[in-house]
Chain A
Amino acid sequence: MLFNTLNFAIFLPIVFVLYWFFTKRDLRVQNILLLVSSYFFYACWDWRFMFLLIFSTILDYYTGIKIHESNSKKRKQLWLWISIGINLGFLGVFKYYNFFASSFGDALSVLGIKTNLSTLQIMLPVGISFYTFHGLSYVIDLYKDRIKPERNFIDYSLFVSFFPLLVAGPIERATHLLPQIKKSRTFDYSKSIDGLRQILWGLFKKIVIADNCAEFANEIFNNSAHYSGSTLLLGAVFFTFQIYCDFSGYSDIALGTARLFGIDLLRNFAFPYFSRDIAEFWRRWHISLSSWFKDYLYIPLGGSKGGMWNKIRNTFIIFIVSGFWHGANWTFIVWGFLNALFIMPSILFNTNRNNLNIVAQGKYLPTLSDFFAIIKTFFLAVLAWIFFRANNLTHAFEILSNIFSKSIISAPSFKGSANSFPILILLVIFNIVEWLGREQQFAIARIGLNWKRPIRWAFYYVIIFAIIYFGGKEQNFIYFQF
């Protein structure tokens, strides 16, 4: 079930009404209802993968208790590695088997050894990377004694499977979500209205911006050989907005939906394209994954301790692993490597924490230097996204070589370019709204709150009409494949 479908528009109000009207505010009943709804939501994709989700839940629930109950460090370690091994084993089989088999075969054939490693037609279970990381953070936190084990199986299962975050995050932490699951929840008018506003903005981002940019980006990337450098660059820019609005739109809908049930999820995006350097970009992009890698990989590796060399090594490791997390393709790995490379100047010159504040806070316009820093960071991101979107490395390098050719100095033109003008205008409007709302949780969180109700509602109606009118061809959410 996709957030941008009629099915979800029917599903959500039903769960909402049942949750607030038919559970008598009984926390246990509310949690059971949310869990059943979450499993139903997941089963709508493919009920066969339910077993994997439930197995992963049982595994981490059980090993979590065992870790806590073990007296010796060795036993704790054993249970931890059982959990990590099985979780990553599943992830490896479903997500990476074909990649390793074909890469290994390629490597052997370079040495003149012919192999017949067969690849398998394996379907990737939706959300496996997300719920696996949920579970891993839980058992690692238990091992590190940061939390106590959750003994209520329903509550733990809901922590793993809560439907707004189940298939594409945000990747939650037990320290943040479990206490909310265990606490009695009462209806909060302003929280719910805020949630609806966030859902509306998420739908706008996904349906109006991402889906329309996708049409042009797909046309240009799929026929890249026919297009000039300037058109390819425009295609990359379209993809840059597509992936942002697709994923952050999904996150907005997820966060807004959770708020309707009185639950706050971790923020996943904080206007990353207004970042002044790549370090800031990564503090604002897919925050729940970045912080996951920081806490569970970068810091255990030693983090920034142990001198500059260790810092550089660890930075490259987390970016490359992060790229690999996205998928079994060299393009993702190079994307991660490139980002590590782009962040290096701020690591080397120790400027990676220079831009911790919000750009032009309290002002309408940025300073000239901030403006150019934003543009520079944006184009570095565009460059890296080319690898993320390309079919393979050869494709990415072909696109790049065309972009850095004479044909960059020509007017972009592609099939359907005549229809792209309204979308370009929408992109400009979208960026203005995002800029105005950059100090908030999401762009329209505060916009119009002081306006009179008819004007404020007219603003929301305009967004709804835009969603209906400019709705692109329905596209899946990009991050569902991860």
Chain B
Amino acid sequence: MKKFLLTILFFIIPLLLLFIFVEFKLRTINSEYEKKQKGLLEKSSEIEILFLGNSRADNGLNPTFFSKPAYNLAYGSQTILYDKALVLKYLPILKKLKHVVLSLDYHTLYSGYLQERDFFYYHYFGINIKNKSFIKEKLSYFFYVYTPKISIKLLKENKDVKMINGWTGNESSIASRLTERYGRERAQSFDLTINQSRKTKEYIEVQKDYEDLIRFLNQNNITPIIVTAPCNKEFTKFLDEKINQYNLDFIQKMKKKYNLVYLNSLNDSRFKKTDFYNNDHLNIIGAEKYSKIIDSLINAQQ
């Protein structure tokens, strides 16, 4: 038995040392969440326009092209639940905030809680949506915060992302991703999310959160600018018209109740294939175009 236990111990020691090393490295990795949070605190006293929402807002709204100080706090897959939590947390320090640009994309009204990303909002922004203890996540980033595959990728890359006022942007287009096939698959995956949300009735909570956020912004004399980002037609042609109409009806209902501005750029013909990184995200050229459009919309309001 002693021999068995010693063999096991000696076998495990290298694995354990490697595990500790990897955990240490993962904890010190540059995170975009961290950069966004730090940038927000740095610029908090001057920000007048804040962008929230998912990756379409994250990639498509470049604060550099706005005439007033702006900051991009949107992030990939970020839902209204987290948008609302971020506003509630940081509004007290955003003294000059006048406008909040909010996403309303095809699937926005259907996604709320994000199990895989929840820890990041807790760790970097101090937001704990479900009052979780995150014991597993704190114990191992390798297994529970990321997956082993993603962890190894992160350790291999360990790239320092250049971020300007919360914006990074996508460099170029991926022609192979702008095809009808990918457009259909992408639309199908959103439809799956939407169906799931309808089944679980999650969308009711999401829409309540959306309205809460708009109301809260209005109460604080901040104008919500609701935007539907432009997408490539190889994607939009597969979107369910009923869902598009439902989204529009929702925003019309909000418009009647609250002071807000809405711009639907989903099928805006000013955007060409070369403006897109993939079927539903703008690249830096498209982001410049889109940012200028939103900026002029905000200026027109004043």
Q: Are B152 and A469 in touch, CB under 8 angstroms? A: yes
B4: interface (CB < 8 Å):
yes
Q: Are B11 and A469 in touch, CB under 8 angstroms? A: no
A461: interface (CB < 8 Å):
yes
Q: Are B14 and A192 in touch, CB under 8 angstroms? A: no
Question: CA–CA, A189 to B3, complex, Å?
Answer: 8
**Least Cβ distance of B144 to chain A in Å?**
9
Q: Are A193 and B152 in touch, CB under 8 angstroms? A: no
A471: interface (CB < 8 Å):
yes
Q: Are A187 and B148 in touch, CB under 8 angstroms? A: no
Q: Are B148 and A468 in touch, CB under 8 angstroms? A: yes
Known pairs A189-B1, A460-B11, A464-B15; list 10 more (Cβ under 8 Å): A187-B4, A189-B4, A192-B4, A193-B4, A461-B14, A468-B148, A469-B148, A469-B149, A471-B148, A471-B149
Interface residues of A (CB under 8 A from B): 20, 187, 189, 192-193, 196, 415, 457, 460-461, 464, 468-469, 471
Interface residues of B (CB under 8 A from A): 1, 3-4, 7-8, 11, 14-15, 147-149, 152, 185
**Given known A-B contacts A193-B7, A461-B15, A464-B15, A187 and B149 have beta carbons under 8 A apart:** no
Question: CA–CA, A193 to B1, complex, Å?
Answer: 11
Question: CA–CA, A469 to B22, complex, Å?
Answer: 14
Dominant secondary structure of chain A at its interface with chain B: helix
23 pairs, CB–CB < 8 Å, chain A vs chain B: A20-B1, A187-B1, A187-B4, A189-B1, A189-B3, A189-B4, A192-B4, A193-B4, A193-B7, A196-B8, A415-B185, A457-B11, A460-B11, A461-B14, A461-B15, A464-B15, A468-B148, A469-B148, A469-B149, A469-B152, A471-B147, A471-B148, A471-B149
Which residues of chain A are near B11, meaning CB under 8 Å? 457, 460
Question: CA–CA, A460 to B8, complex, Å?
Answer: 12
| Nearest 9 CB-CB pairings of A with B | A468-B148, A187-B1, A189-B4, A469-B148, A192-B4, A189-B3, A415-B185, A469-B149, A457-B11
**In the complex, what residue of chain B is closest to A460 when comparing beta carbons?**
B11
Which residues of chain A are near B3, meaning CB under 8 Å? 189
Question: CA–CA, A3 to B100, complex, Å?
Answer: 49
Question: CA–CA, A141 to B276, complex, Å?
Answer: 72
Which residues of chain A are near B147, meaning CB under 8 Å? 471
**Least Cβ distance of B116 to chain A in Å?**
12
Question: CA–CA, A20 to B8, complex, Å?
Answer: 15
Which residues of chain B are near A415, meaning CB under 8 Å? 185
**Least Cβ distance of A111 to chain B in Å?**
37
